[in-house]
Amino acid sequence: MATVLYITAHPHDHQASFSMAVGKEFIDAYRESHPADEVVHLDLFKEDIPQIDADVFAGWGKLQSGSGFDQLSDAEKAKVARLGQLVDQFVAADKYVFVSPMWNFSFPPVLKAYVDSVAVAGKTFKYTSEGPVGLLTEKKGLHIQASGGVYSEGPAAGFESGFSYLKKISMFFGIPSFEPLFVEGVAANPAAAPQIKADAIVKAKEIAKTF
């Protein structure tokens, strides 16, 4: 049995969001094809995702200097503990499905905060004399991204910073397979938007069978 983290970063649901609509179809098809697997949904707009702030740095600093967890302030305890929960959950999973819209060429800030929470030395990567080495070498990932324009190829490809960033961080973590499913051009060509979504759903269901 495998564990899938279904990580969504959109304030809307599948009825109002192209990325969420395709994501729902993917995860429904995945459950059908892999009934023994566990799917854990993390809705980043509803989860507590602490930012790396002064409390976190202070808490980490105290722990690294030998202080006990009980010596942290209440704010430090809450944030440091939650960050620990998030990275441990991420490491324990076998597969990752990220779902997000493209906002200003990237993704919503809460997704960056989540990535920061799981980018932890000794957990998802380690430092060596030859540089950092990823530790998640037996995982795989998928990113479902919707955008108003076309950014996977063509003249605007250089502006795409959503999937390209997640691909880089997955490589940093050692994840050998991290693929995109683009749902793009829905604002540039509104008349074609329903067909763009339908085509992406067909792809999503196919990918789900072997993911």
Query: Starting at the edge strand that comes first in sequence, how are the strands of the sheet with 3-8 ordered?
Result: 38-43, 3-8, 95-101, 140-147, 177-184
Judge contact between 36 and 1, C-beta under 8 A.
yes
Closest by alpha carbon to 100, among 115, 118, 79, 85? 115
List residues bridging with 126 in a β-sheet.
133
Q: Tokens for 69, please give them.
A: 């967890």
Positive or negative, the CA dihedral 161, 43, 181, 3 is positive
Name the binding residues for FMN. 17-19, 102-105
Q: What is the CA radius of gyration of the chain?
A: 18
Residues recorded for the chain = 211
